[in-house]
Amino acid sequence: MNWLKDLKIVKKLFVLIGICVVFIGMVGFVGYHFLDNAQKNMSSMYNNNLLSVGWLNRTAQEFSQIKSAILDGIYDKEMRQMRAEEIVKTSEEIKILIKKYSEIQLNAEEKNKLDELNKDLDFFYSTVTEISTLLKADKFKEAEKKYLMIETKFDELIADMIGMAEYNQKEAAEVDAQADKDAAVAMIIVISTIALAVLVAVAIGLTIANMIAKPVNQVVDNLKEVANGNLRVKNIDNNAKDEIGILSQALNMTVSTLKGLVGAVVQSAEDISANSEEMSASSEQTAQGSQQTAISTTQLAQGAQEVSRNIELGAANINKMNKAVQGVSEEAKIVAQLGNDTETNANAGAEYVNKAVSKINSIKKVSEDISVNISELGKLSSEIEQIVDLIKNIAGQTNLLALNAAIEAARAGEHGKGFAVVADEVKKLAGQSAGATEKITAMIKEIQNKTQIAVTTMGKTTTEVEEGVFVINDAGKALENIITQVKTANGKIQGITKEIDGVAKTSEDMVKMIENISAITEETAASAEEISSITEEQTASLEEISASTQTLAGVAEKLIKQVSVFKI
């Protein structure tokens, strides 16, 4: 229990409260747990058992109602149509009830029974529907035959419904019995927890009360003895780290300190009495020394005035130096600004070089594309030249054909005149084609020559562009080196500017320091004069001190008598 003993009083109370809260929480949890289980069981019993009992009993009644309706329809002609409708309606109601029952939570046994029931119901529904149709058609004999086929099935279905209802009633009874058992267990746990909580709380409460009350009583007893002047009380043996332990240790230290203090006061009073006589003799010697101090102080004042004059001259020289340093600082700032401007312009130049490289690369790409297109044009010219040669050959062949046609026309005589005219026109056309092909050939050769010149020129242009790219890249690299060097120089210039600013600030501080020293020196001279006059006054005071020491000796004797009340 040492850990509890060392806790603060508030924390001890929190421990007690915490234990009570834990037990209260346990009681609440147990109550909530069993109430929640009871609620779930009741809800399950209602939804899965009680509702299903109602549905199953009602289904059994519906089966009986269908059976009665069929018999009425067969044997009562006037009720036949109405009973036929009633049979269909009741069958639909049975389907709805069976569907509701199948949708609730069923166990394996109930599911098996329901599956068997659905197999029988499919045949039952179809047969009942046929009976209803026959009754509507007034075929009661056929309906009676159908009824006799399922008469025993009615009793089986009714028995199944009643059996399933009884099964659900049994399950509901089991849930109710389990709820009673859970309630009894919960009651036992809650009562046991409350009893245990009371015992633990009382035990811990008494322990904490004893930890607080016993040391407090010891502290009160010792304080009463100390108040009566008895410092011989025993120390309280309490090393706990709570407020009571700290208070006990503080009281022990207080008593010990008072013992030392009272002893020191007695010793001091005796020392005061013995030293008073020595002080009286020393006062006379001090008076003589004070006179000598007054003389020395006068000499000090004169020296301080001389020092003040020299400091004023030094301050004037340092002011001149400070102005020069400030001028250098301003020039350094201008140089630093020029360095920044140079760096900015160099960066801009680098950007322009990069843009130029990009543009030249674009020009190079366009030149290469043009060279490729011109080469393609040369190839097309060669192909056109071949076509022209072909046309030229065709023109030659046409000319020969026209000549042959003219010969044949001459042979034909009068009948070949028209053909001769056509042959002459063909010959003219062949001659024109030959002339045109000659011109086209000449033009194609001219195009090929120009194309070759353009290809050669574009090759030179591409070479020049590549060389231009290399030159600009070299210029960009050189410009980057310049930017790096400018940044380095700019950084050094800014460092020099900061150093010069520091020197200027130091010079200003030095001027202020010298001015302060000058003022202090003047004050020292004035103070020296005041000390001289004060020394004279001190001499007179020492005579009064001598008289006071005798009075102090008498006071010391009285103090010794008063302190003797304490027992140490």
Q: Are 521 and 309 in contact (CB under 8 A)?
A: no
Q: Kindly report which listed range (40-44, 284-288, 418-422, 554-558) carries the lowest average pLDDT score.
A: 284-288
Kindly report the number of other CB atoms within 10 A of residue 513's CB atom. 13
pLDDT at 465: 56
Nearest by Cα to 526 from 305, 236, 336: 305
Backbone angles phi, psi at 567, to 5 degrees: -105, 115
Backbone angles phi, psi at 447, to 5 degrees: -65, -40
Q: What angle do CA 9, 15, 17 make, to 5 degrees?
A: 105
Q: Is the pLDDT at 400 greater than 80, yes or no?
A: no
Task: Report the range out of 192-196, 315-319, 489-493 with the highest average pLDDT.
Answer: 192-196
Q: What angle do CA 150, 151, 154 make, to 5 degrees?
A: 85
Residues 226-249, mean pLDDT to the nearest whole number: 73
Higher per-residue confidence, 247 vs 76:
76
Helix axes 243-412, 417-563, angle to 10 degrees: 170
Q: Are 121 and 98 in contact (CB under 8 A)?
A: yes
Task: Report the range out of 80-89, 250-259, 401-410 with the highest average pLDDT.
Answer: 80-89
Question: pLDDT digits over 24-81, tens only?
Answer: 888 788 777 767 776 776 666 666 666 777 888 888 888 888 888 888 888 888 888 8
Residues 444-471, mean pLDDT to the nearest whole number: 68
Q: Kindly report which listed range (17-21, 195-199, 269-273, 434-438) carries the lowest average pLDDT score.
A: 269-273
pLDDT at 89: 92
Q: How confident is the model at residue 148 (pLDDT cuts 50, 70, 90)?
A: confident
Burial 45-59 (b: 16+ CB within 10 A, else e): beebbeebbebbbeb
pLDDT at 52: 76
Share of the chain above pLDDT 70, in %: 58
Q: Are 458 and 370 in contact (CB under 8 A)?
A: yes
Q: Is the pLDDT at 516 greater than 80, yes or no?
A: no
Q: Say what the pTM is.
A: 0.34
Give the burial class of 396: count Cβ atoms within 10 A of its Cβ; 0-12 exposed, 13-18 middle, 19 or more buried: middle
Q: Is the pLDDT at 528 greater than 60, yes or no?
A: no
User: Average model confidence (pLDDT) for the chain?
Assistant: 73
pLDDT at 190: 83
Task: Report the range out of 86-100, 426-440, 453-467 with the highest average pLDDT.
Answer: 86-100
Rounded CA gap, 234 and 255, in Å? 10
Burial 282-301 (b: 16+ CB within 10 A, else e): ebeebbeebeebbeebeebb
Higher per-residue confidence, 420 vs 112:
112
Nearest by Cα to 363 from 458, 465, 455: 465
Q: Is the pLDDT at 556 greater than 70, yes or no?
A: no
Q: Is the pLDDT at 332 greater than 60, yes or no?
A: no
Q: Is the pLDDT at 324 greater than 70, yes or no?
A: no
Our measurement of the distance from residue 398's CA atom to the centroid of its chain's CA atoms, rounded to an integer in Å, reads 93
